[in-house]
Structure 1
């Protein structure tokens, strides 16, 4: 029996701890309070940052107030983002997200002067601000501003970009989620016609029933192909937006901005990509072995990440929770204690449902509000490791909440290291305590599949993005061309 014939136990977010609902007047009251604080902040510090930088105590007060405004204004933004992610098809959620974003951007417009004036300080002044005891905890903040100095724009230009993003990049990314949430896949399951949402269909990509997953993947790709124009338009718009802003900010290449955000050098990224590509043969060797297990000479696309063992584990949520908490407790009780709160306090949404935002993710905007995790839990071993991965992010954010707002958000590379490490803790625990229900060979296969995704396929995606950004400098990319590039890179990896 698959997950679409029997409803799995699930947990959904409790967002009422933030606000009572989409119509809660406190949402816009908090935004108004943040706006009022921003106006006072402008009166106190505009055109006075250089002067205040000579007074560490006063400057410390300015930074603290800057943080308080963000903490107050980003709570409604977080709520609207989570509400939209919980159901991208509900008009009230879409409307609220746009309204909150618009008001939050207007608040940010008032605050742009502060970081701009900081970046106007002489380099030695900016870099030595944190030498003063009152400002030591903001050393990383000042260093990041120093690194971004060559790429800053004038205040009016920064404001224009903020407003442009509201109707441009942000609208396209939200539309992408809305559009995916609206798609339906029609197919026969065990002789019965079913209408599946995209998350439900994707869950079946990992079904142990080969014919079923091959059929559902074919039907899903067919639906996606029918809407190729939509996906191509979104992608071209985002690529163009990125290229224009990179040019305006004097970034040297498309990845430059993200490398700065993650404190990485170009050579580090390039070497990682090249070394990974040099080991593509390992991925192909694993897939040849997998093909033999499927009794095929060549592995089918529907088999690449599918389980070899024809057994559906059907882990219920209680069992998955217990496995994760026990594994973390054996490693470090503090991690288990933090992870348990996600289940007990409903900081996690595990349900597979139409309209829910695609993929698995962990969201955390501000240190005064705990992180939220979302995934589509179908009861499979892969789902268990995905849950462990996202809880790893959640634990990391929870522990990072001891820091102030400007010191809170870790670079992506550090965040992913913690999440992957948590996955490995769970996998190691499973291997040490394997059972008939979760056999050792199934665990090892799932781990190797995840390595293929985390290391090799992610490298493939990076190469895809580099390629389309390089080409798009001269023209728009067509649907067939995008597909040709994508499958060409897949061939390099999978053979």
Structure 2
């Protein structure tokens, strides 16, 4: 049996040598394809045959695949060495090329959304097969589209409008310097570095770290708050007043291809289940030997006195394979492919990008996975998570590049599900003490990715309404504090300095209403996992088919085919039942 070693990936399948004439030829070919495609513009006619229409779509697929291969190579080689001047230069060059190619083929997208009447659209889609839903979804936006000159005005003004506001927020907040005493030294650090201290085993350090961050935002609340109010106002003016969307959150829902009813149902179930996590916080206080958790202690390591187990890379990889294989040998084979083809970059080295990701370039190429493996149990779960993404992509590898990727709310399904399979497998192999540490950390994560994100979204709904009616920054902060009080009940003592925390959440500024996608993806995976626990092996084919659909079907439609009604609160509740069981298990270990 082979042994797995830490190492770098092999990108030669994408590009043999970026300095070779062959690579220049690859680029020239792509540019030629795009120029040839531009000539179609004069031939576009809603009355064209469906065969001609499909032929155009196949050209779009080909261009997308070739661009993805070249652009993917540039971004992956940059990720593996961000300090390399060559990789940086290539990345810049390919970003520019990508933007030029997109602009050249954009006319077809606009024509399809706005120039084709419904009757002809229906006729043209009759042979579209798996990309029918994708084409229909694009046409949904036609209802909210404006004339070409108006769209151009909005695009032009966005550069100095909403995009400029977001850039300004980033520029201001990224320049913040935080000073905090560590030991006897006063250290200056970034927010990223400071956030590590929020998980310190020392309560005083946790409190100081939070206060240092929050006071900086509080000092700048005038300008940071003003930016937020303008972003929200812009979202309302363009989305509701000009384009005619129902509500601020509807704009995001339509973009995600989900119904308002589904998201209402998700958020109301999350709100109703806050006592599940409140119980956990009471338990966590006991584990930390505290009377009551303060908000500063939320992410304190509850099992700090338990020695954390280290895992070798070889053992970790095999554990993930085993966990997937117990569920389905097909999924295990997909995960093995990433290693067999050397598409994984796992070693920690200077210049390599932090964190972890999985990159799917085209349906024909096995995904590439990047992790920074140090042997902690968290790293084993990260490996399972990213390989879950790779499994998802490969399950959908027979799809067109236009619909291989699942829509945002479904994108975390396989990654979270793979972590659950690993946890299930591991919990039979570790001591009660290790299990206590792992379980407590896992429930922390479930809180952060499910309940916290849904309450963020509930706050945004309220804030957008308030700002639309005209309000002050202090009123927004009061709304946020109220939101936290509902979330924590009596389980956590809350200080007023957290009222300004909303202004520290970049998602509110960058992508309004994005956060519910985390709650959606994680709860969906938990609900599916609960079904697996009930139905056993009978559940496996349905799960694999859900993954294999990629983005070819609307989430509600896809899941209803397998008996899951995501518009119903009952479905989301099944996910919370899993969390409830985990909290109970933790309580029995204490």
Per the alignment, residue 3 of structure 1 pairs with none
Instruction: Please give the alpha-carbon distance, in whole angstroms, between the structure 2 residues aligned to 1:47 and 1:192.
Output: 71
Instruction: Please give the alpha-carbon distance, in whole angstroms, between the structure 2 residues aligned to 1:294 and 1:99.
Output: 52
How far apart are residue 127 of structure 1 and its match? 2.9
Instruction: Please give the alpha-carbon distance, in whole angstroms, between the structure 2 residues aligned to 1:97 and 1:237.
Output: 33
Matching of residue 339 in structure 1 with residue 335 in structure 2: yes
How far apart are residue 208 of structure 1 and its match? 4.9
How far apart are residue 378 of structure 1 and its match? 6.3
How far apart are residue 483 of structure 1 and its match? 4.9
Per the alignment, residue 136 of structure 1 pairs with 129
Per the alignment, residue 325 of structure 1 pairs with 321
Aligned with 2:386 (options 390, 398, 404): 390
How far apart are residue 271 of structure 1 and its match? 1.7
Matching of residue 433 in structure 1 with residue 426 in structure 2: no
Instruction: Please give the alpha-carbon distance, in whole angstroms, between the structure 2 residues aligned to 1:377 and 1:42.
Output: 46
Aligned with 1:455 (options 427, 433, 450): 450
Per the alignment, residue 57 of structure 1 pairs with 51
Deviates more, 1:106-115 or 1:76-85: 76-85
Deviates more, 1:253-262 or 1:332-341: 332-341
Aligned with 1:405 (options 398, 401, 407): 401
Aligned with 2:279 (options 285, 294, 308): 285
How far apart are residue 287 of structure 1 and its match? 0.8
Mark the CA change 1:413 to 1:35 in structure 2 (over 3 Å): closer, same or farther: same
Unaligned runs of 5+ in 2: 490-590
CA RMSD of aligned residues (A): 4.4
For each residue in 1:265-324, what CA deviation from the matched residue of structure 2 results, as whole angstroms up to 9, or x when unmatched?
A: 111211211121011122212111211221222213343233311235153461443432
For each residue in 1:102-122, what CA deviation from the matched residue of structure 2 results, as whole angstroms up to 9, or x when unmatched?
A: 543343233232123223323
For each residue in 1:465-487, what CA deviation from the matched residue of structure 2 results, as whole angstroms up to 9, or x when unmatched?
A: 32333344466974x66655444
Matching of residue 443 in structure 1 with residue 431 in structure 2: no
Instruction: Please give the alpha-carbon distance, in whole angstroms, between the structure 2 residues aligned to 1:23 and 1:195.
Output: 42
Instruction: Please give the alpha-carbon distance, in whole angstroms, between the structure 2 residues aligned to 1:12 and 1:445.
Output: 33
Per the alignment, residue 72 of structure 1 pairs with 66
TM-score of the aligned structures, taking structure 2 as reference length:
0.67
Mark the CA change 1:192 to 1:312 in structure 2 (over 3 Å): closer, same or farther: farther
Instruction: Please give the alpha-carbon distance, in whole angstroms, between the structure 2 residues aligned to 1:316 and 1:406.
Output: 39
Contact kept in structure 2, 1:112 and 1:159, CA below 8 Å: no
Contact kept in structure 2, 1:181 and 1:354, CA below 8 Å: no
Contact kept in structure 1, 2:309 and 2:434, CA below 8 Å: no
Per the alignment, residue 5 of structure 1 pairs with none
After TM superposition, list the pairs within 5 Å mapping 1:292-371 onto structure 2: 292-310=286-304, 311-313=306-308, 315-316=310-311, 318=313, 319-342=315-338, 345-348=342-345, 351=348, 356=353, 361-364=357-360, 366-371=362-367
Deviates more, 1:422-431 or 1:377-386: 377-386
Instruction: Please give the alpha-carbon distance, in whole angstroms, between the structure 1 residues aligned to 2:224 and 2:85.
Output: 22
Contact kept in structure 1, 2:358 and 2:386, CA below 8 Å: yes
Matching of residue 145 in structure 1 with residue 138 in structure 2: yes
Per the alignment, residue 274 of structure 1 pairs with 268
Contact kept in structure 1, 2:34 and 2:105, CA below 8 Å: yes
Contact kept in structure 2, 1:77 and 1:104, CA below 8 Å: yes
For each residue in 1:138-177, what CA deviation from the matched residue of structure 2 results, as whole angstroms up to 9, or x when unmatched?
A: 2222221332321233344445555666777667778878
Mark the CA change 1:66 to 1:461 in structure 2 (over 3 Å): closer, same or farther: same
Aligned with 1:39 (options 35, 38, 50): 35
Mark the CA change 1:420 to 1:213 in structure 2 (over 3 Å): closer, same or farther: same
For each residue in 1:177-215, what CA deviation from the matched residue of structure 2 results, as whole angstroms up to 9, or x when unmatched?
A: 888888776667677887766555545544556555555
Instruction: Please give the alpha-carbon distance, in whole angstroms, between the structure 2 residues aligned to 1:33 and 1:234.
Output: 44
After TM superposition, list the pairs within 5 Å mapping 1:44-193 onto structure 2: 44-52=40-48, 54=49, 56-79=50-73, 100-119=94-113, 120-132=115-127, 135-158=128-151
Instruction: Please give the alpha-carbon distance, in whole angstroms, between the structure 2 residues aligned to 1:232 and 1:16.
Output: 48
- 3-state SS of 2:487 partner: helix
Deviates more, 1:381-390 or 1:15-24: 15-24
Contact kept in structure 1, 2:308 and 2:434, CA below 8 Å: no
Aligned with 1:422 (options 400, 418, 424): 418
Instruction: Please give the alpha-carbon distance, in whole angstroms, between the structure 2 residues aligned to 1:168 and 1:488.
Output: 31
- 3-state SS of 1:51 partner: coil
Deviates more, 1:467-476 or 1:12-21: 12-21
Per the alignment, residue 6 of structure 1 pairs with none
- 3-state SS of 2:411 partner: helix
Instruction: Please give the alpha-carbon distance, in whole angstroms, between the structure 2 residues aligned to 1:181 and 1:389.
Output: 29
How far apart are residue 63 of structure 1 and its match? 0.6
Mark the CA change 1:179 to 1:287 in structure 2 (over 3 Å): closer, same or farther: same
Mark the CA change 1:179 to 1:22 in structure 2 (over 3 Å): closer, same or farther: farther
The aligned length equals 480
- 3-state SS of 1:73 partner: helix
Mark the CA change 1:343 to 1:262 in structure 2 (over 3 Å): closer, same or farther: same
TM-score of the aligned structures, taking structure 1 as reference length:
0.78
Instruction: Please give the alpha-carbon distance, in whole angstroms, between the structure 2 residues aligned to 1:482 and 1:84.
Output: 41
Contact kept in structure 1, 2:356 and 2:386, CA below 8 Å: yes
